Structure 1
Amino acid sequence: MREQNNGCADFDVSVLGLGAMGTIIARTLAERGKRVAVWNRSPGKAEGLRANGVHICDTAEDALRASPVSILVLLNSEVARETLGGLCASGALAGRTIVNYSSGSAEEGQELQKLVSGADARLVKGTIMSYPRNIGHPESYCIHTGDSGAFEDHRELLELLAGHAIFLPWKEAYAFATAINAQTFTAMLSFFEVAGAAHRMGLPIREMARQINDASRFFAADAIEDAIRRFEGAGFDGDQATIDVHEAGFTYIRDYMRSQGASTPIFDAVCEVVRRAQREGYGEADIAATTKIFAPTEAFTA
């Protein structure tokens, strides 16, 4: 039989939504000394947290009333709106902070903020930049926006979930989250593509994957740091390998992978970007100049 929450319990934080992410958030907070209340539409998912000392609530309203701050890790912003919308008139949100980690568009996030503000509560919208297994890792990132005062009031709590818990204005926060996800997942899928190509080339996937990971850390980080230097200085001189040099090398790489039966749609796209940069007259520039294909020239001026 579950503990009953009559709204009088005194907890540090409530977690609503116990999928993979929500469950680990609740467990991490409990393990780090926080008094945690939880609620999930499917009650059975909460039972595994009982050993961590969490308080299981029967309703979303009970969970909201149980603590001053509630973390939402629901399917999406629509579900978050449905969950909170029916409780605005009850006073369950009044005086509380909602931290919404549910996925959704910028417009949906701002609509939810209006709804929460209208119920005399504060909203912090968060984007977790890690897989569930890395919740609480000192190197993980979480980007927040919304009510800056609410974020500062609960910064210590949020830093238990990500070593780098940062706050940005709405537009900047969504732009940063979008960009880092696009870059990271493109890099990940490229890694998966070449791991598959390694098998086609007669190499064990596990061995090649480890070698790629070890060898690319410095190579990729250095390339990005050099690109930042060039963006800041607005200079793309070809004092390293030029785009022309890269295009020739990329062609050899692609052709060899294809000759071994590998499928290379991601690397094909890379080759096409470099060829386009040549067509636009950047062949003798550094490869960072390919950014000019995607951003206007004035983006690189002070």
Structure 2
Amino acid sequence: MGSALAAALLDAGRDVTIWNRSPDKMNPLVERGARGASELSEAVSASPRAIICLLNYSTTNALFGTPQVSKAVSGRNIVQLGTSSPQESEDSKTQFNNWGAGYLDGTIMCWPGNIGTPSGRIAVAGDNVAFADCEIDLKVLAGDLRNLGSNVRSAATLELAFLSRLLGIIFGSIHGALACEAEGVPVSEFTSILPPGDRAIPLTETIHAGSFDQISTGGASVDVAAEAVTGLYDHAVSMGINSELPSLMRDWVKRAQDAGFGKQETAAVIKTLRKQ
């Protein structure tokens, strides 16, 4: 995803400095006109604004927590586009503000191929002054750019809400396929009544074919699903709201993991549900 962000900015004629923990990964972008920095602090210092796109916020904390890098962010506006809990987003804003930087927390709600197009969708929240400074560049990245305001927890919360809906579709469809199997109705018939483009279609096709070792288009492994449902569960518990739905989904994926299906398509969860 980070490469897609940098490529879109380059295509728009921006001067882009990049840094990656694996220097070789910068080569394709350098060949397109980006400047590769040898140090993270060098990349941050190259512009009044910087975009962070890392695996998780703990990685960000480790990389930016050094004296050299934390000093470099002072006076700049930072946009972090990643996956986090609302609390992690709030903690990051506090940390970057303490270092003297403006901060926007965001979530990318599209595929890498949509970045830099009208169908690209990014939601951000945080410092209003930072948004005003970064808005033009963010609109290059996403035709559908949503400013959720100053509540920095908003983007991560919206991602949680969308994830909850998606997981509901996935696990609800697994149960639907289970019901079909129990009644002798081909799962392919279930697939045939789903709306065109429905997110459950690759999943039900996988169940019908029994091809659980291959991750379906837009799908994920049981292990990845486990991380997602754990995040939903932990958030519900931390906020004191009902956690029964994410708890059920968490139990299902744990059962599949315990059975050795962690690397298989999420649809493999059905294999542990066919018998009580």
TM range (shorter): 0.5 to 0.7
Matched, 1:66 2:46: yes
The structure-2 alpha-carbon separation of the partners of 1:59 and 1:113, relative to structure 1 and needing over 3 Å to count, comes to same
Quote how far apart the aligned CAs of 1:23 are. 0.8
* Number of aligned residue pairs: 199
CA distance in 1, matches of 2:198, 2:84: 33
Maintained 8 Å contact 1:64/1:93:
yes
Match of 1:123 among 93, 103, 108: 103
Q: 2:161 pairs with 176, 179, 194, which one?
A: 179
Q: Specify the alignment match of 2:112 in structure 1.
A: 132
> What TM-score does the superposition give when structure 2 sets the normalisation length?
0.61
Q: Percent identity?
A: 28
The amino acid that maps onto 1:170 is: V
Give the root-mean-square deviation of aligned CA atoms: 3.5
Q: Specify the code of the residue in structure 1 equivalent to 2:169.
A: A
CA distance in 2, matches of 1:202, 1:86: 54
The residue that corresponds to 2:24 in the other structure is: 44
Residue ranges of structure 1 left out of the alignment (5+ in a row): 1-20, 218-257, 263-292, 295-302
**Residues 215 and 80 of structure 1, relative CA distance in 2, 3 Å threshold:** closer
| Counterpart for residue 221 of structure 1 | none
In structure 2, what residue type is equivalent to 1:178? L
Q: Counterpart amino acid of 2:152?
A: W
Secondary structure class of the residue paired with 2:83: coil
Map 1:204-283 onto structure 2 (within 5 A): 212-214=194-196
Question: In structure 1, the residue corresponding to 2:146 is in which secondary structure?
Answer: strand
Relative distance call for 1:192 and 1:50 in structure 2 (3 A) is: farther
Structure-1-length-normalised TM-score: 0.57
Deviations 1:203-223 (A, max 9, x none): 599xx67x8443869xxxxxx
Alignment-derived partner of residue 100 in structure 1 = 80
Question: How far, CA to CA, are the matches of 2:4 and 2:197 in structure 1?
Answer: 32
Rounded to whole Å, the distance in 1 between the matches of 2:89 and 2:29 is 29
Equivalents in 1 of 2:176, 2:31: separation in Å?
43
Structure-2 separation of matches of 1:52 and 1:149: 31
CA distance in 2, matches of 1:123, 1:133: 26
